[in-house]
Structure 1
Amino acid sequence: MRTDNSKIKEIFKDLPFSDEQIKVIESVFHKVNFKKGNTILIANDKVEYQYYILSGCLRAYHTDKQGKEYTVQFGIKDWWISDYTAFFSDSKAIMTIEVIQDATLYRISKDDKEKLYSQIPAIENFFRIKLERAFAAFQKRILSNLSQTATERYSNFIKTYPNIEKLVKNYHIASYLGITTESLSRIRKDLSQN
């Protein structure tokens, strides 16, 4: 099935591809649609795919032994999502990924991604830059969780995910910030009064 190559160009931004390269890319990226409430990955599953989010909103979270959820990432338009620990190490998933707004995704397997790297070196460079930026963002997030107040973390969250509050539940945001829903309500109230 042939995809709209404008979507391939959207995924890879300004990378120039020949018609032949576009055919190769289209052959390994598969469009999938999910409805709100679907789960695309469950903890302890084998992680076969990395996903590009064309539209929608997803949440990756970890559940501890007591059943408490910790939101690790929200995925929105033009972001990538997977359980990267498992994807890169061929281990079982430690996270669950749920769809919190109807989503259209493009998925690629690890093997197909490796084939693309050898056939189209510009794609390997593209993903290297994406991973470097993601790693830097995760480090910033860890540091903010260690050194910032809950209010500062919430302000950063709003900058990173503008308008997402309409899409996700309060307990999702609270778990992402490492606070209770009551603390989140207090922070919002305090900020609205300023």
Structure 2
Amino acid sequence: MDRNFTFLNSISNISEEAFSEVKKISTFKKIEAGTQIVKLSDVPSKAYMLVSGIIRCYVITESGKEFNKSFYLPVSFAASLTALMKRKPSVFVFEALTDCKIYEIDYYKLMRLCDTNSNLKNLYTKVLEFLYVKYEKRLVESITLNATERYLQLKKEIPNVDELISQYQIASYLGITAVQLSRIRKKVS
């Protein structure tokens, strides 16, 4: 059995026919580290299922400073949802931190399929619910936890984060400087 079908079924029951329809609107791609799959101000039309590697989502300030919003690890979904839903330019950049394998899914074709297939509509709803819960958790952590607690929470979610993601990227995600992160690492080891 296809492991992607198994994964999607772990989120919401879908038929093999529905899975076949999603495959028709998806393209498997290997992308190199540093590749931006969504660029700043792009009006995206694709969503992504990450099957290997790490993707980051970040925002760039007017002064050019980057702030990481999210890290995506396999198997997960990544997309500039607001830009997709509103057909507007993305305020986020999605970039491969490592070489990645992804499925690029045509979002608008998926939405048309959801209109006619309740299995896929349920799957889409479950994915959105998962993403919202993840977003809400991150928001609460950023408000209620100090930098050390945020770092420890990140290590809990990604045990080998220090080997996978550069210190600069981790610090940006935590909202601190690399020097502060270095101090926190010393303190907790």
**TM-score, normalization: structure 1?**
0.89
Structure 1 CA distance, aligned partners of 2:96 and 2:175?
A: 21
What letter is aligned with 2:2? S
Alpha-carbon shift at residue 115 of structure 1 (Å): 2.3
Match of 2:33, SS state, is coil
Q: Distance in 1 between matches of 2:158 and 2:110?
A: 28
Report the counterpart of residue 37 of structure 2 in structure 1: 40
* Matches of 1:23 and 1:144, distance apart in 2: 39
Deviation of 1:16 after TM superposition, in Å, equals: 4.5
Matched with 2:22 is: 25
Give % identity.
27
Pairing of 1:30-69 with structure 2 (within 5 A): 30-69=27-66
Counterpart residue type for residue 17 of structure 1 = S
Residue pair 2:22, 2:110 contacting (<8 A) in 1 also: no
Tell me the residue number matched to 1:71: 68
CA–CA distance in structure 2, aligned partners of residues 90 and 149 of structure 1: 36
Structure 2: tracts of 5 or more residues without a match: none
Query: What does residue range 139-178 of structure 1 map to in structure 2 within 5 Å?
Result: 139-178=136-175
- 1:115 is aligned to 2:134: no
Post-superposition offset of 1:46: 1.1
C-alpha deviation, 1:9, in angstroms: 0.7
- Tell me the C-alpha RMSD between the 2 structures: 1.6
Could you say what secondary structure the match of 1:26 adopts? helix
Instruction: Report 1 or 2 for greater relative contact order, CA contacts < 8 Å, sequence distance ≥ 6.
Output: 2
Cα-to-partner distance string for 1:35-55 (whole Å, 9 max, x where unaligned): 112111110111111100011
Give ranges in structure 1 of 5+ residues lacking alignment: none
- Scaled by the length of structure 2, the TM-score of the pair is 0.92
Contact 2:14 2:120 in 1 (8 A): no
Deviations 1:54-81, CA, capped at 9 Å, x for gaps: 1111111100001110101111111111
